[in-house]
């Protein structure tokens, strides 16, 4: 498993934990950063992803709500929400990550962490975001 793949997984962990605890992701992130040299410490790319999702959170959630066809964000499994938020962030604002890589990584995270139906759902939704990318960034 590559370094960025591990970093994405750790970012999903932070977003998922924040969701489950009902706390801000940035607070969970601060807890992890405050523990350097421990297993809880995060790679810089994980920090960048969480900070990016937080910075663009409102727009990301609006995109997910608009294009998830029949699924509200609250109805999505929490892991899927975290994976999709990172995927949308990487597709729209991750200039150093090709869109296909961002989608593939999100699908693999959904496959390993969530339900049997999640990879197809994540792939379809992020595929739509990739198609609409030029209009979403206007």
pLDDT tens digit sequence for 56-76:
999 999 999 999 988 889 999
Looking from the CA of 57 toward its CB, the CA atoms found within 13 Å total 11
Q: What mean pLDDT is predicted for residues 34-41?
A: 64
**Domain containing residue 76: CATH number:** 1.10.940.10
**Structure confidence at residue 38 (pLDDT):** 61
Q: In 3D, which of 56, 127, 114, 115 has the Cα closest to residue 86?
A: 56
The chain-wide mean pLDDT, for the chain, equals 93
Count CB atoms within 10 A of the CB of residue 10: 20
Tell me: pLDDT of 36 over 70: no
Place of tokens 């109805």: 75
Q: What is the pLDDT of residue 133?
A: 94
Domain count, the chain: 1
Q: Which domain holds residue 87?
A: 3-136
């Amino acid at each position: 498993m590559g370094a960025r793949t591990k970093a994405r997984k750790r970012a999903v962990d932070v977003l998922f934990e924040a969701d489950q605890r009902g706390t801000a992701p940035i607070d969970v992130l601060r807890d992890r950063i405050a523990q350097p040299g421990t297993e809880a410490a995060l790679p810089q790319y994980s920090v960048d992803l969480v900070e990016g999702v937080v910075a663009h959170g409102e727009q990301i959630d609006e995109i997910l709500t608009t294009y998830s066809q029949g699924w509200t964000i609250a109805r999505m499994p929490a892991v899927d929400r975290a994976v999709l938020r990172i995927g949308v962030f990487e597709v729209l604002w991750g200039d150093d990550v090709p869109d296909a890589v961002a989608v593939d990584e999100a699908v693999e995270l959904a496959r390993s962490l969530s339900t049997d139906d999640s990879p197809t759902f994540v792939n379809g939704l992020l595929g739509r975001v990739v198609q609409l990318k030029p209009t979403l960034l206007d």
